[in-house]
Amino acid sequence: MKLILKIVVSAVAILITTGLLEDYGVYVKDFITSLKVAVVLGLLNTFIKPIFKLLTFPITLMTFGLSLLVINTIVIMIADHYVADFQISNFIVAFAFGLIVSVVTYVLELIFGLN
pLDDT for the residue numbered 113 = 87
Residue 115 has pLDDT above 80, yes or no: no
What pLDDT does 71 receive? 96
* DSSP code of residue 83: S
| DSSP code, position 87 | E
pTM of the model: 0.92
| Distances from the Cα of 111 to the Cα of 31, 88, 94, 115, angstroms | 20, 28, 25, 9
Q: What's the confidence (pLDDT) of residue 8?
A: 95
Strands, DSSP E only, in 1-115?
26-28, 86-88
Task: For the chain, give the percent of residues with pLDDT over 70.
Answer: 100
Residue 25's pLDDT is 95
The tens digit of pLDDT for each residue in 29-71 reads 999 999 999 999 999 999 999 999 999 999 999 999 999 999 9
- Asked if pLDDT for residue 5 goes beyond 90, the answer is yes
* DSSP tag of 86: E
Decide: 44 and 72 in contact? Cβ < 8 Å. no
**pLDDT given at position 2:** 87
Residues near 74 by beta carbon (within 8 Å), at least 6 away in sequence = 52
The pLDDT of residue 101: 97
Which pLDDT value is given to residue 114?
82
